[in-house]
Amino acid sequence: MAARKLVVGAVTALALTACSAEPTTPSSEPTQPSSPAASSPAGSGSATSFPAGERLAGTPFRSAELGSFDEPWAMTFLPDSHDALITERGGTLLLRTADGRTTEVDGVPDVAYGGQGGLGDVIVSPDFASDKLVYLSWAATGDGGAGAEVGRGALVIDGDGARLDGFGVIWRQRPKTSGTGHFGHRLAFSPDGDKLFVTSGERQKMQPAQDSGSDLGKIVRMNPDGSDAEHWSLGHRNPLGIAFDADGRLWSSEMGPQGGDELNLIEQGGNYGWPEASNGSHYGGGEIPDHRAGDGFVAPKVWWNPSVSPGSLMIYSGSRFPDWQGDAFIGALSGEALIRVDLAGATASKGDEWDFGGRVREVEQAPDGSIWVLIDGAGGELLRLSPA
């Protein structure tokens, strides 16, 4: 049975949607064959061809549209495969095979859909080849209101169907509270696979970000089964991107208030300042002290004024764009752009900002080194980017 969507805050949803305004490779690629037999089965690492797409004006990319989805939020590739799992915020998890067929995955939890809430991130276990575990995050209701949750279950592909077996919650954001914004709930495993990191937004309550007794406004580290959860860093507003670089450094992109969006290098025990310090202002114009040396807070490595609303983060390691290996890619919602940030060790600087004419919700690297993005909203496109 598919997940049941619990609609919350229908009026607030409209306001929050507005607020979230929060290469040397060949220039063309083989065209995808129309026969399903040409595609590899789920989990297969066989070579797959894709449409070459068209040159995307003002960018170094060719863009091929591979499908459309209803409010897509996140995606992840199955290991050694171009089969992918894609979440839709209303509560649907889809398995998209390399040939473009989609199957709804059963066994997904009920979600609290409304405002910025719903089904969120999806990643697979570092040991997926043996355990088949898929991790999801979502907004859920409970005592006190709503909050982010994380769970996992084993992906079973059976004929034309797919399901998550034994799905269970492994972590709940505490406390649950009123409102339908700033859940965070992006997921990443440490490079050794021993720890799971979860971003936890401050739920638009601000001060709990500085409260060690609250999960709100933190990045949380835990074992893969959710045990031994601990606050890794604090002072976050709405961190909607998290990724490790090749040297094991943890980076997070974060929505600021009015301006002050951030890319942060995450340190254990680091306090990133919210709401005591920000390079932005409160909505309505209220001032917030800027980050400054000696204020006791960790300043962002890069920030944006005006806002671009970073909604996702990927650190590139592929070969199709060799000049960008090790750089960060950020999907910009209100900025309607794909943003590249130069990373060099522990330093970062702004690179490129390419106009996509739509809210870029998710950015992922495919096994072949191409870059895939999901455009936010009803009918949001899945685009595959290759060198122009």
Between strands 218-222 and 133-142, the pairing is unpaired
Any idea what DSSP says for residue 41?
A: P
Contact (Cβ atoms closer than 8 angstroms) between residue 335 and residue 353: yes
Sign of the alpha-carbon dihedral angle for 328, 331, 333, 337: positive
Any idea what DSSP says for residue 281?
A: B
For residue 251, which of 319, 183, 150, 326 has the smallest C-alpha distance? Answer: 326
Q: List the catalytic residue out of 182, 185, 236, 291.
A: 182
286: its two tokens:
């209220």
Between strands 380-387 and 371-375, the pairing is antiparallel
The three-state secondary structure class of 130 is helix
* Residues written for the chain: 388
How many angstroms separate the CA atoms of 325 and 342, rounded? 9
For residue 129, which of 195, 80, 188 has the smallest C-alpha distance? Answer: 80
How many angstroms separate the CA atoms of 235 and 243, rounded? 18
Q: Indicate if 82 belongs to the active site.
A: no
Side chain identity at residue 87, one-letter code? T
| β-strand partners of 353 | 339
CA 42 to chain centre: 23
What is the biggest distance separating any 2 CA atoms in the chain, rounded to whole angstroms?
62
Q: In this structure, how many other beta carbons lie within 10 angstroms of the beta carbon of residue 319?
A: 11
Listed in sequence order, the residues at least 6 apart from 173 whose beta carbon sits closer than 8 Å to its beta carbon are 147, 148, 149, 183, 185, 200, 215, 216
189: its two tokens:
């495993």
The three-state secondary structure class of 267 is coil
Q: In this structure, how many other beta carbons lie within 10 angstroms of the beta carbon of residue 242?
A: 23
108: its two tokens:
């997904």
Q: 49-85 in b/e burial notation, b at 16+ Cβ within 10 A?
A: bbbbbeebeebbbbbbebbebebbbbbbbbeebbbbb
- Residues with a catalytic annotation lie at 182
